[in-house]
Structure 1
Amino acid sequence: MQIGMVGLGKMGGNMAERLRRGGHEVVGYDRDPGVSDVASLKDLVERLEAPRAVWVMVPAGDPTHATIRELGNLLSAGDIVIDGGNSHYVDDQRHGAELGGRGIGFVDCGVSGGVWGLQNGYALMVGGEKGDIERLMPIFETLKPEQDGFVHAGAVGAGHFAKMVHNGIEYGMMQAFAEGWELLEASDVVTDVPGAFKSWRNGTVIRSWLLDLLVRALDEDPALAELRGYAQDSGEGRWTVQAAVDHAVPLPVITAALYARFASRQDDSPAMKVVAALRNQFGGHAVSAKEGQVGKGADAPGADVEPPAEATG
């Protein structure tokens, strides 16, 4: 099958390569001319035979909006656009409606597999019309693993909604492994922390690919000394928590994992400053002052303020 691929970065480039190895003809476009087959989106569309299929693999948000808008002006009725990035499902619904008004199909595809997908295949969660999905099945069959790894999750938006929840679960699992590692490191009871994680890889209920990757990381750097404890979030965790609020579904683990990532980016926690100040005020507990300043103890100025009669702590 012939397909256009827009965005040939770490994910898009590997996906294009897996499709080529599977016998498909891929015409790729990227802003980097060194990896691009054509000079523009217009050239890409002209290289494809109608009815066309174009897979968009660019960052979510404005880059995706702009790319789909331009494709909408270049493609014809009967063509299909697939958004395989990490878009918000509400954006998919808008894109589907806009392209549908021109007779152009739209499929949203949540993709999981990272840099290992070229070798192992990609898990695909797709949303869209049944006819569009069936037409694209040769592409999906080549990209996915040999067993499982594919679901037609529902109408437009369902694919990225499923991927959003997947990533929220991933947040929680990663946080659990992280907290377990920190506790083992803090204790002097377990002397081989990397070995403990390695022992869990087979025969335990927490064996998983994430555990395998953590063991791999600990083999390379047993104390993780070369890393900084700073974790970004790409948006899906926030959207998962927001969707939980919209549907009144409690997600305490995923929400806490998202907040832990926020905390990782703070050099000095503003919230903990308030906690420290309040402990000093009501109990005279010592505080750690910034360099060059004097911290307050129980005998410091301000520590003798009388609490109201009902205050305790």
Structure 2
Amino acid sequence: MIFWVLRWFLYFENAKKDLFHPVISPFYPTIAVALLVIAGGFIIIFHNILLAEIFWVLGSMLMVVFAFLIPFIMFTHENIEISHINPGWYIPPVGLIVIPIAGAFFEPLSTGVYKEIITITNFLGYGAGFFLYIALLAIIVYRLILHSPLPGTIAPTLWINLGPIGAGNIALINIVSKTSFISVKEPFYIFALVFWGFGLWWLVMSIIMTLRYIKRAELNYSMSWWAFIFPLGAYTASTHLISKTLHLEIINILGFGIFWLLFFIWCITFFKTVINIKNIFKG
């Protein structure tokens, strides 16, 4: 985040140009998403509620700003073409959906007005993020069907669709299990399972499409390969959570297989990135 802020001071025109770029601008909220993910890590791994809450508040505030800024730029942009549409546009909705993943843990620990603010923020994040995702899903599928295939350099973004599905299920289960006024939980869990099923279809389709790019030698390394990682990681985590919540062992076994797929892809992407960085310095 420090380097991101420094870029605005040292290279303001370049940062501003990227912010208004129809392909690059949706990636700006990744800064806020990172803060929210760190908040979740402090809760689950380190059990440090104070630091988790600090990162969550910062990430949520920044994400809400981007949730209005990026769509506003897209709505008022005069040069967006169908070729600009890509699954990277899911990132702002994903960021909103991630808010309640950690935020749900703070609701039962809070009181008074602050408790209500946390509750509203969680439901704002999930509600706005989920329905924006549904709207963008229709637009992106329209582009995939009626326009030329995605260029190989951004082909990995096909996997980003697993992000809102995986994060969405984790957020939903956390909200339902932690929010005090929700007493009937089973219908929400059933929806999470249905949503997870759509994610499994998209995972298989993403694998098939990626193999097609590999077969045609169109999947040369680029930084977009990291689009394989976070979405698949979110879906893997949601698979484990659903299996644990609904006591479905077969889903847990399937999730274990998806985890090894994630580990395999992460290793390849990591080593490719290291090699690319070394080549840049050598050059």
Structures share fold, TM-score greater than 0.5: no
Relative contact order, higher structure (CA 8 A, sep 6+): 2
TM range (shorter): 0.3 to 0.5
With structure 2 as the length reference, what TM-score do the two structures score?
Answer: 0.34
Return the structure number with greater helix share. 2
Q: Rg larger in 1 or in 2?
A: 1
Return the structure number with greater strand share. 1
